[in-house]
Amino acid sequence: MALILLPPSESKYRPGAGSPLDLSTRPEPLIEPTRQVLAALVGLCRGDPVAAAAVLGLNENLFPLVEANAELESAPTAAARRIYTGVVFDALDAKSMTSSERRRVDRDVWVTSALFGVVRLGERIPAYRLTAGTGLPGLNPLSTIWRPALDEVLRPAISRRGVLLDLRSGAYRPLWPVPHDLAEVCVVGKVWQATPDGGRTAASHDNKASKGRLVRDLIQSGSRLTSPTALLQAALEAGWTADLAAPHAGRPWRLDLTIDR
């Protein structure tokens, strides 16, 4: 099965009970970067909440998220597929899948994260608030911290599966830009909106929901999906209007999905 990268959601479910975060269960290259970012975020939020909210881009109505961040080291955790909510994850709707489909989701669908780098949907995490563009005091830019660690983790993961389907939003791609030498095995998904004149324009409203539905269809196809053409074929068989653009000038493949309103 392909490795699939999704963007995170700003909204998250906060579990009322569960074991605290255990960094030792993370892939080894991600442990120290996670520890660094976590310490900086918790330290920021345990200080002046007004200053912390300003750094995190939160208004006063979202001050409870600052308080939640301050307690991340002891906060209850749950599977990431439960923690992440919002349009993408509502459309994916992992809770309604069969147990075998959910196992594939937990193993093969990963979420990019400013706090964790990447998170498998089966991995236990707490609810948190941190976006990729945030500059944490006393810490290097998040892209600088995560890029080498993610390269160590993603390269072998892609090699084992044969192909990566990259559905990340633009804000999260700098954490790990697709390297030129992996362009032949990486596919970036793009959602387009059909226009009345027969053309198409970049989708906005339905972009996130379409990505969630596509992942659901790919998981439920049961196909091995070990190449860009296999991803295209599975999308077509699921009823999507799709085409595949080949790599060019070091850029990866592009899977174009065109939707109607």
Helix (H) or strand (E) holding 242: strand 241-245
**pLDDT, tens only, 62-90:** 999 999 999 999 999 999 999 999 999 99
| Sign of CA pseudo-dihedral 143, 149, 151, 153 | negative
Task: Report the C-alpha gap between 138 and 38 in whole angstroms.
Answer: 12
Burial of 190 (0-12, 13-18, 19+ CB in 10 A): middle
Structure tokens of 193? 């909106």
pLDDT at site 104: 96
Strands 186-194 and 200-202: antiparallel
Task: Report the C-alpha gap between 116 and 27 in whole angstroms.
Answer: 11
pLDDT at site 236: 97
What b-and-e string marks burial along 45-61, b requiring 16 or more CB atoms within 10 Å of the CB? beeebeebbebbebeee
pLDDT at site 205: 78
**pLDDT, tens only, 118-160:** 999 999 999 999 999 999 999 999 999 999 999 999 999 999 9
pLDDT at site 261: 64
CA nearest 6: which of 124, 102, 96, 86? Answer: 86
pLDDT at site 217: 98
198 vs 187, higher pLDDT: 187
Task: Report the C-alpha gap between 43 and 48 in whole angstroms.
Answer: 10
Q: DSSP letters along 146-214, please?
A: HHHHHHHHHHHHHHHHS-EEE---TTTGGGSPPPGGGGGGEEEEEEEEE-TTS-EEE-STTHHHHHHHH
pLDDT at site 221: 94
∠ CA 210-85-83, rounded to 5° = 135
**pLDDT, tens only, 154-186:** 999 999 999 999 999 999 999 999 999 999 999
**pLDDT, tens only, 246-257:** 999 999 999 999
Task: Report the C-alpha gap between 18 and 22 in whole angstroms.
Answer: 12
Q: What are the extents of the domains in the chain? A: 3-13+78-259
- pLDDT of residue 198 exceeding 90, the answer is no
**pLDDT, tens only, 93-113:** 999 999 999 999 999 999 999
Task: Report the C-alpha gap between 46 and 39 in whole angstroms.
Answer: 10
